[in-house]
Amino acid sequence: MLKVGLTGGIGAGKSEVSRLLVGHGAVLIDADRIAREVVEPGTPGLAAVVDAFGADVLTADGALDRPKLGSIVFSDPDRLAVLNAIVHPLVGARSAELEQAAGEDAIVVHDVPLLTENGLAPLYDLVVVVDAGPRTQLDRLVRLRGMTEPEARARMSAQATREERRAVADLVIDNDGPLAELEPQVRAVWSELTRRAAAKG
């Protein structure tokens, strides 16, 4: 099994790279998706979040109000640390279960938004960083995700810098351009991953 950490700043296009890698045969473990699952209604994760942040972070039907919680934690590093201390161990445990189920020959891609920030690079055989310039990120967040510019800038500044991410990268995918330029890069990365998996196996 080859364990790959995939990361990139918000708006860099990591999800698109994940989708393309799955198309080539990667097994994807999406930390964001798991992070949503572990705080669904009725889970111990959601109970712990409510204990820490109060019932105000719930919607009328008892689900987590993600925008409300986001507005609390993204402007307060201490509150963000509290949330991470609840969610990250749950995500780690579920990711390990999914990885074990993938099989010995699999190339397992862990899509981890905060890989750099949380010092997780050593957990993987190699790290792939999807890189885009701050101007590209900002444009995508405002134009495609409907964020206001101040919201987008706050999210970006809560993450590692571009230089910090590149420093932990074994492979970098440049995603400043259109999809047509992304696909051949992902194909080349997949060739490298299969080569490394074969060498390891």
Q: Each residue of 5-40: pLDDT tens digit?
A: 999 999 999 999 999 999 999 999 998 899 999 999
pLDDT band (50, 70, 90) for residue 158: confident
Q: Amino acid identity of 8?
A: G
Q: Which pLDDT belongs to residue 59?
A: 96
Q: What angle do CA 100, 103, 107 make, to 5 degrees?
A: 95
- State residue 61's pLDDT score: 94
Predicted pLDDT of residue 26: 98
| pLDDT of 17 | 97
170 burial level (CB within 10 Å; 0-12, 13-18, 19+): middle
Alpha carbon 41 to its chain's center: 22
pTM: 0.85
* 187 three-state secondary structure: helix
CA 97 vs. chain centroid, Å, equals 18
What residues contact 17, with CB distance under 8 A and at least 6 apart?
6, 8, 128, 130, 173, 175, 182, 186
The string of pLDDT tens digits covering residues 93-128 is: 999 999 999 989 999 999 998 899 989 999 999 999
pLDDT digits (tens, 9 = 90+) for 134-149: 999 999 999 999 999 9
Q: Is the dihedral of CA 64, 70, 71, 73 positive or negative?
A: positive
Question: Domains in the chain and their CATH numbers?
Answer: 2-200 (3.40.50.300)
